[in-house]
Structure formats: structure tokens, C-alpha cells
């Protein structure tokens, strides 16, 4: 690797790390942000709006891919992802100085959602630009290895955001952090932005793009050429279904859903949950480079589809092992305590709520969502039409319309043998290096395996996508399937999985979402996606032209 190539990888990777850092800060601090910017609403409503703003960043990512992908194919990779990082960094910094709703009312919430949408748009343009730029600098036969450093950036950004939050929280104390200290991680981003912009201004345009411009073979309408011509559009569709959809659900399950499962389902405290995830990320992240390098040797398909297949086959036993180690008392209660919801089937909704705006007020929905939030396994029995849903636990029966239903249900669940959230069997880490006991050790081991699956599917994905499309429409063509897959298939995973848990009463049932999509990707990818590791991405004689000898 030459000094120039190292500079390209460092500049692209650092900038993308900082973009993901900015993007994930909001998710990590969503509860606090909800209290600061939606304080005029009741707690439940403010959390809904906070989640709505979080989801907005995911939902607009494909539109950012279209806008900046087109720009990148018209004017160049370098200038486009310089624009994206400026938008992301400025939006994040403004969140850090934005007055709260106590100061400027509903205007604060409106500005916050606009900033969140700008973040999503910027991220939609950033990844495709960075991946394309690095791939077009990489020598033939080393593209998987070179682009694998870009693949570290999403996990690196998440890891960095967790570290900054943990450090800030610990340094100033919980009270000060909740009052004003939550702004510090957002404000720090201005320093990261300055470093990223300075490094990226030192870069030259990619050789593939310069060659295309010199030969006059660039596209005058990248969007219509990429998605309006079937020969190109079908490749984008197959890339989405045969590569990216499975990659996305494995990525989000191994990191975000694992964190949700530990903290919300298994009731592990926030400090320990973040430390467990951080250790898993630290130990497993080397796999990004390992599998990117390996994909240059044996191909992109075997590794990406192999990761999807392993995930589909082992998610259920791994999450059950995690449950048994992290909260053994709760795990035992799931096996031994019978809880039944008796309800009119017509009264029960599928509680899919990706943007947090739907309200489920039927008695069956109230009972199911309350039990799901308490991490209780339950079964549903049909009741006569028009009857009010009732929760039966042992000898106790609690109608969903009872006064103080939530408190009565919690007391009944505890009396039946479900442990309190603070029960002594829950894994708890006293400090970051408190890992040499069975509970944290085994929990970290499981989380590391989940991260290794992430590295298998994500390490080679940039090279695989870049190699599927010609230079003239590459930025546009690869960005859209990537961000639909990760922004929608992956971003909707927590909401979908929670709805599936509430629907069935099984805390593991939500895993069927990533399992089915990962398995479908294995089948579609194996049948329809070509192996691309030997393709010459400088070739302009068609989509996926074979390497010239």
C-alpha cells in the first residue's frame, strides 16, 4: 500500500467514522432529547416524538443516496462527500446549541426534526461516495481489503459515540449530564468535522472518475440511466435483495437489536449494557478487515452469504444463551410461569409503529404492549366478541380497563415469580474491566460472535456493490440499494421485532424477522448474484464487464 493509498483510506474512513458518530449520538441520547425538545407533551408522547425524529434519519437516507449519488456521478466523488460531511457536521453541532422547548417552544422540536432529516440525507450520500472513492483507488485484487476500512466506520462511529457519552457522563455526574452535559458530545463533533474537512480537501479526484471525464464517457442523467434502464435497474434490485437486505438485518441485529434486547428485554442496566456491547465491538471489529481481505482471495459471495446463513441458523440459540447468562432469573420465569391474555381477536392489532406516531388503545393492545414492556412471555386465548381483554397470571385476573392497570399488572407479575428489574441475578459490571466472571465473560462472548457475523456480511459489501456497476453510474447505483436495505430493512428492525413480540407473547419471536430475511438473501444471492472479485471496474463496456487480461 502506497503512502497515497493510505492517505485516501485514512481520509475517507475518518470522515465516515465521524459521520456515523454524529448519526448515532441521537439514538444513544434519544430519551434525554425527548425530555428536552418535547417537554410540552406527557412522557409517553414525548418519547414517541423523539423516536419519530430518530426514525426520520433512517427513512430519508435513500433520498440522500439519490440526490448525492447523482451529484457524485456528475461532478465527482471528492467534492460530493466533502459536501455531505459539512452538512452532517453542521447539523450535529447545531443540535448541541439548539435552545430547548422550554426556551422557544414547539420551534425547537421542528428545528430538531429538520436537522435530523439533514443528517439522514448527508449519510445517504456519504457512504456511497467514500466506498466508491476508495474502491476506485484500490489496485486490482485488493479492492476488498482496501474498502474494508470503510466498513469499520459504522461500527467505529457507534463505538466512539458510546465512549464519548460514557466518559462525559462519568466525568460530570448524572445530574449535570441530564441538565446540560448531554450537549457536549454534539459540540465535540465540530472538532471532528474540522479534522475531516481538512484531510478531505487534500485529496485528488478518483482515477476512474478522471479517466471517465477525460474520455467523455460520463452519464448526463445518472438517475434515469441507473434506474430507468432495466439492464441496470435489475442489477440494483438484485443487489438489494441478494446482498444488502441480509447484510442490513445481520448488521442491525448484531449491534442495535442486541443492545435493545439486553437493556429492554433482559433489563440489564444502561452502563453494563453499553459496556457489554462495547467489548463485543472491540473484540469482533477486526473481522471487517479480515473478511474484506479474504474476499479478495475466495470471493465476495461466499463470505457475505455465509455470514447470513450462519446468522439465520444460530440466532435463536445464541440469544437464548445470552438470556440465560445475563438474567437467569428472568430466563427461568420465561420457561416456568404461565401468563395468558384472553381477548377478542378483533380487538388485537399488529403493533407495528416504526415512526412512533400510531396509538394502540384497544384493551387487547394495552394488555399485550404492557406485558411486552415487562418482558413477560404469554399466550393468547380467544374470548367472546366485544369482551375486554384480561390478563391471567396464576389465580389473578386483571382486566385491561382496570384502574392503574400497569401497576396492578406489574405487581401480579412479580408475585407470580417474575424477577424485579434490579434482581441480583442480572449481570452487572462494576467497571470496564470487570469481565473475568462467568456472566460478563459469556455475555461478551455471545455478543462478539454476533459482531463477527456483522463483519462477515459487511466487510466485503462495499467492494461487491462497487463492482456490480460501471463508473458512469456507480455512485448512484450502489448508494440506493445500500440505503434502502440499511435504512429501511435494517432501520425498521427494532420496531418490527417489538411488534412481533407483542403479537405472539414470545420474547424471541422478533428474531424471525432477521432470520427470514437473511435466509432469503442467501437463496437469492446464491442464484442470481455473480461473483465480482475479478472484475475490472475501469471497464466501460457494460455492467460488470470481466477483467481484461
Rounded distance between C-alpha atoms, residue 72 and residue 78, angstroms: 8
Average pLDDT of 318-347? Answer: 90
Contacts of 302 (CB under 8 A, 6+ apart): none
25-84 residue pLDDT tens: 876 777 688 778 877 666 555 655 666 676 677 778 888 888 888 887 877 777 887 888
Report whether 507 contacts 257 (CB < 8 A): no
Q: What is the pLDDT of residue 217?
A: 67
Averaged pLDDT for residues 282-306: 94
> Residue 123: pLDDT band by 50, 70, 90 thresholds?
confident
Concatenated DSSP letters for 253-309?
Answer: IIIIIHHHIIIIIS---HHHHHHHHHHHHHHHTTHHHHHHHHHHHH-HHHHHHHHHH
Among 214-223, 404-413, 431-440, 538-547, the minimum mean pLDDT is found in: 538-547
Query: Residue 52 has what pLDDT?
Result: 66
Q: Where are the domains of the chain?
A: 1-218, 221-335+423-530, 338-416
Three-state secondary-structure class, residue 343: strand
pTM: 0.84
Say how far apart CA 255 and CA 152 lie, in whole Å. Answer: 13
Rounded CA gap, 428 and 407, in Å? 26
Do 1-218 and 221-335+423-530 come out as alike in CATH topology?
A: yes
Q: Is the pLDDT of residue 315 over 80?
A: yes
User: Is residue 539 over pLDDT 70?
Assistant: no
User: Predicted confidence band at 311 (pLDDT cuts at 50, 70, 90)?
Assistant: very high
Residue 315 to residue 519: CA distance in whole angstroms:
12
pLDDT at 210: 76
* Band of residue 359 on the pLDDT scale cut at 50, 70, 90: low
Q: Which pLDDT does position 41 carry in this prediction?
A: 64
In 3-state terms the chain splits into helix, strand, coil percentages (rounded to 5) of: 75, 5, 25
The pLDDT tens digits for 139-184 are 888 899 988 888 888 778 878 887 888 888 888 887 888 888 889 9
Is residue 226 very low, low, confident or very high in pLDDT (cuts 50, 70, 90)?
A: confident
Could you give the percent of the chain with pLDDT greater than 90? 24
pLDDT for res 66: 83
Pick the CATH number of 338-416 from 1.10.10, 3.40.630, 3.40.30, 3.30.60: 3.40.30
Closest by Cα among 518, 546, 522 to 532: 546
Q: What is the DSSP string of 377-411?
A: --EEEE--TTPPPEEEETTEEEETTSTTHHHHHHH
d(CA 446, CA 458): 19
pLDDT of residue 549: 30
Distance CA 318, CA 321 (A): 5
Q: What is the mean pLDDT of residues 465-491?
A: 84
Quick one: cell of 290? 479480515
CB atoms within 10 A of CB 121: 24
Classify residue 105 as left (phi > 0), alpha (psi -120 to 50) or beta: left
| Band of pLDDT at residue 513, cut at 50, 70 and 90 | very high
User: Nearest 5°: phi and psi at 423?
Assistant: -60, 145
Neighbours of 288 (CB within 10 A): 27
Using CA atoms, how far residue 119 sits from 2, 34, 364, in Å, is 33, 18, 38
Number of C-beta neighbours around residue 192 at 10 A: 23
Its CATH class, for the domain covering 221-335+423-530, is mainly alpha
CATH topology of domain 1-218: Growth Hormone; Chain: A; (1.20.1250)
Q: Note whether 461 and 478 are within 8 A (CB).
A: no
Q: Which helix (H) or strand (E) holds 492?
A: none
In the predicted model, what is the mean pLDDT of the chain?
84
Q: Give the whole-angstrom CA distance, residue 339 versus residue 445.
A: 32
Closest CA to 478 of 433, 314, 332, 470: 470
The answer to whether residue 548 scores a pLDDT higher than 50 is no
| CA–CA dist 337, 376 (Å, integer) | 9
CB 538 within 8 A of CB 211: yes
Task: Look at residues 419, 530, 512 and name the one whose alpha carbon lies nearest to residue 468.
Answer: 530
Q: Which grid coordinates are listed for 308?
A: 447470513
Range of lowest pLDDT (114-118, 196-200, 281-285, 339-343)? 196-200
Amino acid at each position: 500500500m502506497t503512502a497515497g493509498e493510505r492517505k485516501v483510506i485514512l481520509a475517507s474512513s475518518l470522515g465516515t467514522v465521524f459521520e456515523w458518530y454524529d448519526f448515532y449520538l441521537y439514538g444513544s441520547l434519544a430519551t434525554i432529547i425527548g425530555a428536552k425538545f418535547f417537554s410540552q407533551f406527557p412522557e409517553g408522547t414525548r418519547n414517541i416524538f423523539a423516536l419519530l425524529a430518530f426514525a426520520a434519519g433512517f427513512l430519508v437516507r435513500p433520498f440522500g443516496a439519490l440526490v448525492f449519488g447523482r451529484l457524485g456521478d456528475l461532478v465527482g466523488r471528492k467534492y460530493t462527500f466533502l459536501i455531505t460531511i459539512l452538512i452532517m457536521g453542521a447539523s450535529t453541532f447545531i443540535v448541541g446549541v439548539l435552545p430547548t422547548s422550554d426556551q422557544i417552544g414547539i420551534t425547537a422540536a421542528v428545528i430538531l426534526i429538520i436537522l435530523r432529516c439533514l443528517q439522514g440525507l448527508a449519510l445517504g450520500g456519504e457512504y456511497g461516495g467514500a466506498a466508491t472513492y476508495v474502491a476506485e483507488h484500490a489496485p486490482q485484487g485488493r479492492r476488498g481489503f482496501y474498502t474494508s476500512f470503510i466498513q469499520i466506520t459504522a461500527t467505529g462511529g457507534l463505538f466512539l459515540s458510546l465512549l464519548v457519552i460514557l466518559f462525559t457522563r462519568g466525568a460530570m455526574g448524572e445530574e449535570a449530564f441530564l441538565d446540560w452535559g448531554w450537549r457536549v458530545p454534539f459540540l465535540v463533533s465540530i472538532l471532528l468535522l474540522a479534522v475531516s474537512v481538512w484531510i478531505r480537501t487534500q485529496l485528488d479526484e478518483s482515477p476512474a472518475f478522471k479517466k471517465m471525464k477525460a474520455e467523455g464517457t460520463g452519464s448526463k442523467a445518472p438517475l434515469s440511466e441507473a434506474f430507468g434502464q432495466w439492464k441496470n435497474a435489475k442489477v440494483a434490485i438484485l443487489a438489494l435483495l441478494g446482498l444488502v437486505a441480509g447484510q442490513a438485518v445481520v448488521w442491525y441485529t448484531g449491534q442495535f437489536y442486541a443492545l435493545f434486547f439486553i437493556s429492554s428485554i433482559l433489563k440489564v442496566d444502561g452502563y453494563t449494557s453499553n459496556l457489554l456491547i462495547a467489548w463485543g465491538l472491540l473484540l469482533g471489529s477486526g473481522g471487517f478487515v479480515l473478511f474484506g481481505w479474504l474476499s479478495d482471495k475466495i470471493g465476495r459471495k461466499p463470505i457475505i452469504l455465509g455470514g447470513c446463513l450462519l446468522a439465520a441458523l444460530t440466532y435463536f440459540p445464541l440469544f437464548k444463551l445470552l438470556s440465560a447468562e445475563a438474567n437467569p432469573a428472568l430466563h427461568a420465569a420465561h420457561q416456568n410461569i404461565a401468563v395468558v391474555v384472553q381477548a377478542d381477536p378483533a380487538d388485537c392489532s399488529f403493533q407495528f409503529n416504526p415512526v412512533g406516531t400510531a396509538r394502540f388503545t384497544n384493551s387487547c393492545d394495552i394488555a399485550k404492549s404492557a406485558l411486552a414492556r415487562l418482558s413477560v412471555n404469554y399466550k393468547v386465548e380467544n374470548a367472546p366478541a366485544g369482551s375486554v381483554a384480561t390478563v391471567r397470571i396464576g389465580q389473578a385476573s386483571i382486566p385491561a380497563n382496570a384502574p392503574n392497570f400497569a401497576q396492578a399488572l406489574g405487581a401480579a407479575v412479580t408475585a407470580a415469580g417474575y424477577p424485579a428489574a434490579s434482581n441480583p441475578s442480572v449481570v452487572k459490571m462494576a467497571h470496564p474491566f470487570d469481565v473475568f466472571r462467568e456472566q460478563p465473560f459469556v455475555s461478551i462472548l455471545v455478543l462478539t460472535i454476533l459482531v463477527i457475523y456483522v463483519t462477515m456480511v459487511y466487510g466485503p459489501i462495499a467492494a461487491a456493490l462497487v463492482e456490480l456497476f460501471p463508473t458512469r453510474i456507480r455512485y448512484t447505483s450502489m448508494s440506493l440499494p445500500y440505503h434502502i436495505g440499511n435504512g429501511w430493512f435494517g432501520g425498521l428492525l427494532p420496531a418490527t421485532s417489538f411488534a412481533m413480540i407483542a403479537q405472539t407473547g414470545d420474547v424471541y419471536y422478533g428474531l424471525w424477522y432477521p432470520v427470514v430475511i437473511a435466509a432469503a438473501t442467501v437463496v437469492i444471492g446464491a442464484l442470481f448474484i455473480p461473483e465480482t472479485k475479478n472484475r475490472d471496474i475501469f471497464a466501460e463496456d457494460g455492467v460488470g464487464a470481466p477483467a481484461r487480461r
